[in-house]
Amino acid sequence: MKARNQGVLAAAISAVFLGLSPIFGKQSILVGFSPFAVVAIRTTLATLLLLVFLLIFKKKYFTIYLLGLIGCLVAGFINGVGSIFYYSALARIDAGVGQLIYSFYPLLMVFWLILDRQSISKITILRLLLVIPGVFLLLRTSDGRVDFIGALFMFIAAALYSLHMLINQRVLYEVPAPTVTFYTLVMMTFTVSAAFLIFNPILPPSGTPWWPLYLLSLITFLSRLTLFLGIKHIGGLQTAILGLGELLITVLFSQIFLSERLVLTQWLGALFIFASLFLLVFDSPTRVKRNGKGFLYWLNPPVVNPTDYPFLK
């Protein structure tokens, strides 16, 4: 029971951290950092913090087999591109609305699962149908204007995030979560840093406050650690259900710190989103075939000798 309570607490803390991420990301953009600078600095600092943590406490988690490493690098590149779209979207739309759009990335995974020839439950399809009117209403503002580009960017970010999760899920069959996260973050760092240097290598003038960006980096690092602890003690599904609290955190704090407001139609859209997410409780988890024949067939894990990876047990 003690371990379970620790898992519940860790998953709840992780949801708080994830809910605060778009708040400090938006603040970093508002004080003068470009989306490219935000994602590059945030990812680099979070990777360095995780590297130091593993060097001090978990050196054994650097071990990984070649195909698993390749999978992590591919996932890191995809998520890196998705992060660029995410923070570019935050520069155009409110953090609360953006997070609500981004939050249905689990349903976007349905598309990738179908391509990968996986089975989808009827409740999952119903949840997807609830999301469509929800997103439409979220994009309705009081003056009727809709920033379709910002919404599209956030949609692309959510789609790429769900794809990177599906790839990492394959690798996680054989490799611990901290290992997968580290190598994925390493490739993300290279991807977003290269984009920053190529497309917009400009930092704001001297005197610009960096504290929102530092807090964003720390939150990114801490959310990973608490997420691992939650999954370890209560499992991935229960951690995901508790993680839905990040939506409430983002919407609440965006109104407190960013003075954002949702109009009535947007609150109605949010209800559709929450209803879709609530149905997760009744939706059976999608059991991804370990050796599928879909477009991710190349990630089918090899037979790993347990004596080479004793910590996998």
The answer to whether residue 196 scores a pLDDT higher than 80 is: yes
Q: Which of 68-72, 281-285, 299-303 has the highest mean pLDDT?
A: 68-72
CB-CB contact of 117 with 272 (8 Å): no
Q: Is the pLDDT assigned to residue 248 strictly greater than 70? A: no
Q: Residue 237 above 50 pLDDT?
A: no
> Do residues 154 and 86 lie in contact, with contact meaning Cβ atoms separated by under 8 Å?
yes
Confidence band, pLDDT 50/70/90 cuts, at residue 303: low
* pLDDT above 90: residue 147: no
Position 236 pLDDT exceeds 50:
no
Amino acid identity at 142: S
**pLDDT score of 305 more than 60:** no
Taking the C-alpha atoms of residue 70 and residue 62, their distance in angstroms, rounded to an integer, is 14
- pLDDT of amino acid 9: 77
Q: Which residue in the block uniquely carries the two structure tokens 């109605």?
A: 268
Range with lowest mean pLDDT among 131-140, 248-257, 290-299: 290-299
Distance of CA 212 to the CA centre of its chain: 19
Please give the pLDDT value at position 313: 43
Identify which of 203, 171, 201 has the alpha carbon closest to the alpha carbon of residue 187: 171
Higher pLDDT, 184 or 251: 184
Name the least confident of 124-133, 139-148, 184-193. 139-148
Q: Is the pLDDT of residue 217 over 70?
A: yes
Q: Which residue has the higher pLDDT, 190 or 17?
A: 190
> 225: which 2 tokens?
């650690």
* Verdict on whether the full-model pTM lies above 0.75: yes
pLDDT reported for residue 28: 92
Name 30's Cβ contacts closer than 8 Å, sequence gap at least 6.
258
Q: Where are the domains of the chain?
A: 2-299
The stretch 53-59 carries a mean pLDDT of 87
Q: At residue 304, does pLDDT exceed 60?
A: no
Kindly report the average pLDDT of the chain as a whole number.
77
Kindly report which listed range (14-23, 78-87, 191-200, 263-272) carries the lowest average pLDDT score: 263-272
Instruction: Supply the pLDDT for residue 223.
Output: 81
Residue 233 has pLDDT above 70, yes or no: no
What are the Cα distances from residue 1, in Å, to 4, 168, 226, 228? 5, 29, 18, 18
Band of residue 311 on the pLDDT scale cut at 50, 70, 90: very low
- What pLDDT is stored for residue 145 in this prediction? 60
Highest mean pLDDT, choosing among 93-107, 203-217, 260-274: 203-217
Asked whether the predicted pLDDT for residue 55 surpasses 60, the reply is yes
Question: Residue 94: what pLDDT?
Answer: 81
The whole-number pLDDT of residue 309 equals: 47
**Mean pLDDT value of segment 181-191:** 93
